[in-house]
Structure 1
Amino acid sequence: MDSNGDETGSAGTAEGAYDPRRQFAEECRSHRELYPQGPLNQTQLAKLANTSKSTISRVETCLGPIPPDLPARLDQIFATDGLFKRLYEEITAQSFPVHSRRRIELEPKAISISAWSPTVVPGLLQTASYARALLREGDPRASDNEVATLVRARMARQEVLKGTSPPDFSVVICESVLRRNVGGPDVMREQLSALLVHGSRRTTVLQVMPLGAETHGLMDGSMSVLTTPEGPPVIYTEGIRSGTIIEDPSTVRLLARSYDVLTASALSRDASASMIRKLLEA
């Protein structure tokens, strides 16, 4: 599947190998039992974390997904300086194929993300229904539970855009993506509506590349530019079952320039929103 579909897959853990999910469970149990004001039982921790006892129990026994908002709450309760958030990011990264993990690890740290998608709605903007339709077609033999797990992993990625300090996010989507019927009319109506909401955010610039646009330097595939406070920008490109992180400064500069040209050739922010609304009404 294309990079912006972000094909996910299971990641097995060899016996005795470091497992961030197990570490998360152990840290939660340990901090609960060693709470400075006295040991907390699961019910007491659940009350502090504004969740249920059953959720805490599942987290501590590695059963089911971790609610996306729980790590930050645990860090606040236990004053652990981002420990649970970092472990959660590692857990999320492991649910993706090896070639995607570096990008998944960089996204939560990014202060700026720029993306170009010629084939599907980018993973950071997909609705659960749209993601489910893509994943179901990507692996027809996967069970409903497996597909549901992959959808949850994809939705968890989107937390990077929902925090109190989200990255500057620029995205250009080909018009063909908006017209392609993924999952049926109801799924597409929901997805187009979601794009309008995303595009209205102050930290997001969403543009559409019209089908009538001329040849440009990024026609061969999708691309993301990620900038973190820790170093220069890197670029992630991906094919159907492969992906590459590009760090060579000259290549990064060339591709970043191509992205700048792409945004100049795309419809404006307002014109892009207008096109999406017209497609939604139709």
Structure 2
Amino acid sequence: MPEQHDVDSATRNPREAFGEALRDARKQRRSGRISQSDLGRLSHTSKSTISRIEGGVPPIASHLPALFDQIFETDGHFKRLYEDVVDQSFPAQFRRRMIMERQATAIWEWSPTVVPGLFQTAEYARALFRTGTSRPSEEEVAALTRTRITRQELLKDAPTDIRAVLCESVIRRRFGSRDMVREQLATLLRHGERPTTRVQVLPLDAEPHALIDGPVSLLTTPNHASVVCVEAFRTANIIEDPEEVRTVIRVYDDLMGEALSARESAAVIREQMESL
């Protein structure tokens, strides 16, 4: 049975739903109603920011929902509402993928081109978004980057099992400043040190394989089913056919076997960092 906020947010703009919930919480606080100025002080922001959020005007800083939950003792209510806001900023298939991603018990990533979104630094993400064919404004780039970084919250919650196999070209590719690339590689190393995460590099001279032409994500759901998420130019597709999914799993298993070990991969990443 979905929670009431899920039903409400399905019929309202998620930003408006968030703003209304914040206004209601402020007025109905257990220990006494507080003003926008008081809430701004408690959440280390300003009255104008609280007023803007309650009015449904973007953006909502990603750290604020957790603070609101702490202040109002709402047990993750604002965090869930914020997830609705983030999801709504994506086309339907992307939204569905993000919901499944948050619920997944395991995420296996393959990327032949760029660092997967779950591992991207803000600067790396910004550099990618600035190359968009729609020539996004700096405001749009900033909003897209906030959304990308918010996706990474799942890494802080449940111990999701994450595997990432990256083509060596992802490690060698340079765009933007040396400092930006170096920080991105350092972030990859830090993720690889987590007990629930493995990062492997597929050498450039590896044999051709069926996934060579694009990134793929394999998500395992809580009921142990697997789906394949494929992204291409401005499109996303979710494959659920069991036979197709099994085929992708077999290819991914082969990729992990062909890739360098986690320790060898870390050494390659460190070597590239030192060469910058």
What's the counterpart of residue 218 of structure 1?
Answer: 211
For residues 85 and 79 of structure 1, the distance between their equivalents in structure 2, rounded to whole angstroms, comes to: 12
CA contact (8 A) 2:15 2:58 kept: no
TM-score under structure 2 length normalisation = 0.88
Q: Does structure 1 residue 237 correspond to structure 2 residue 230?
A: yes
Q: Does structure 1 residue 91 correspond to structure 2 residue 85?
A: yes
Out of 94, 100, 113, the residue aligned to residue 94 of structure 2 is 100
Encode CA deviations 1:65-117: one digit per residue, 9 max, x unaligned: 22323323333443434332222111111222333111112222222111100
Shift in CA distance, 184/49, structure 1 to aligned 2, threshold 3 Å: closer
Q: For 1:179, give the aligned amino acid.
A: R
1:25-104 correspondence runs (5 A): 25-49=19-43, 51-104=45-98
Encode CA deviations 1:180-208: one digit per residue, 9 max, x unaligned: 12224332122112211121122210111
Q: Does structure 1 residue 268 correspond to structure 2 residue 268?
A: no
TM-score under structure 1 length normalisation = 0.86
Q: For 1:68, give the aligned amino acid.
A: S
Q: For 2:198, give the aligned amino acid.
A: V
Out of 137, 140, 154, the residue aligned to residue 143 of structure 1 is 137
CA contact (8 A) 1:90 1:105 kept: no
Identify the range of structure 1 (243-252 vs 75-84) with the bigger mean alpha-carbon deviation. Answer: 75-84
The total of aligned residue pairs comes to 266
SS at match of 1:224: strand
Shift in CA distance, 72/109, structure 1 to aligned 2, threshold 3 Å: farther
What's the counterpart of residue 221 of structure 2?
Answer: 228
Identify the range of structure 1 (271-280 vs 141-150) with the bigger mean alpha-carbon deviation. Answer: 141-150
Task: Give structure 2 stretches of 5+ with no counterpart.
Answer: 1-9
Q: For 2:19, give the aligned amino acid.
A: A
Q: For 2:92, give the aligned amino acid.
A: V
SS at match of 1:72: helix
CA contact (8 A) 2:62 2:146 kept: no
The structure whose RCO (Cα within 8 Å, separation 6+) is larger is 1
For residues 65 and 88 of structure 1, the distance between their equivalents in structure 2, rounded to whole angstroms, comes to: 11
For residues 148 and 241 of structure 1, the distance between their equivalents in structure 2, rounded to whole angstroms, comes to: 19
SS at match of 1:40: coil
What's the counterpart of residue 190 of structure 2?
Answer: 197
CA contact (8 A) 2:27 2:34 kept: yes
Encode CA deviations 1:229-252: one digit per residue, 9 max, x unaligned: 256122101111211111122222
For residues 159 and 91 of structure 2, the distance between their equivalents in structure 1, rounded to whole angstroms, comes to: 25
What's the counterpart of residue 159 of structure 1?
Answer: 153
Identify the range of structure 1 (68-77 vs 136-145) with the bigger mean alpha-carbon deviation. Answer: 68-77
Identify the range of structure 1 (200-209 vs 179-188) with the bigger mean alpha-carbon deviation. Answer: 179-188
Shift in CA distance, 161/52, structure 1 to aligned 2, threshold 3 Å: farther
